[in-house]
Structure 1
Amino acid sequence: MTGGNSYEYLDTAEAAERRRLAAVRRYVLVDQPVEDAYDRIAFLAGTIFDTPIATVSLVEQDRVWLAACQGLTGVRQVGREPGLCASVIAQDDTYVVTDAAVDPRTLEHPLVRGELGLRFYAAAPIRTHDGYRLGTVNVIDSRPRTATPRQLKALQHLASMVSDELELRLSVIRNAANAKQ
Structure 2
Amino acid sequence: MTVESQAYEYLDNVDPQEQARLAAVRRYRLVDQPVEDAYDRIAFVAGAIFDTPIATVSLVEQDRVWLAACQGLTGVRQLGKEPGLCASVIAQDDVYVINNAAVDPRTLEHPLVRGELGLRFYAAAPIRTHDGYRLGTVNVIDSRPREASARQLKALEHLAALVSDELELRLMVVRSAVAEQRMRETVN
- Show CA shifts across 1:58-84 (max 9, x none): 000000000000000000000000000
* CA distance in 2: counterparts of 1:158 and 1:134, whole angstroms: 14
Counterpart amino acid of residue 91 in structure 2: A
Query: 1:167 corresponds to which residue?
Result: 168
TM-score, normalised via structure 2 length? 0.89
Alignment of 1:146-165 (within 5 A): 146-165=147-166
Distance 2:181 2:130 in 1: 26
Alpha-carbon offset, residue 180 of structure 1: 1.3
Cα deviation digits, residues 78-118 of structure 1 (max 9, x gap): 00000000000000000000000000000000000000000
Match of 1:45 in 2: 46
Q: Helix, strand or coil for the counterpart of 1:96? A: strand
- What TM-score, normalized by structure 1, do the two folds share? 0.93
Residue ranges of structure 1 left out of the alignment (5+ in a row): 1-10
SS at match of 1:123: strand
Look up the match of 2:74: 73
- Tell me the amino acid that sits aligned with residue 152 of structure 1: L
Query: One-letter code of the match for 2:127?
Result: I
2:27 matched to which residue of 1?
A: 26
CA distance in 1, matches of 2:48, 2:82: 28
Aligned length: 170
User: Is 2:119 the partner of 1:118?
Assistant: yes
Aligned to 1:112, the other structure's residue is in SS state helix
RMSD: 1.0
The residue aligned with 1:177 is 178
Within 2, Cα distance between the matches of 1:177 and 1:36?
A: 23
Question: What amino acid sits opposite 1:169 in the alignment?
Answer: R
In the TM superposition, what is the alpha-carbon distance from 1:32 to its structure 2 partner?
A: 0.2
One-letter amino acid of the structure 1 residue matched with residue 34 of structure 2: P
- TM-fit CA distance, 1:160: 0.2
SS in 1 for 2:49: helix
Give secondary structure in 2 for the equivalent of 1:51. coil
Distance 1:152 1:115 in 2: 26
1:78-157 to structure 2, matched below 5 A, reads 78-157=79-158
SS of the aligned residue for 1:74 comes to coil
Name segments (4+ residues, structure 1) moved above 4 Å.
none
Q: What is residue 6 of structure 1 aligned with on the other side?
A: none
Q: Distance in 1 between matches of 2:109 and 2:171?
A: 38
In structure 2, C-alpha distance between the alignment counterparts of 1:14 and 1:71, rounded to whole Å: 35
Contiguous gaps of at least 5 residues in structure 2: 1-11, 183-188
**SS of aligned partner of 1:64:** strand
- The aligned amino acid for 2:64 is R
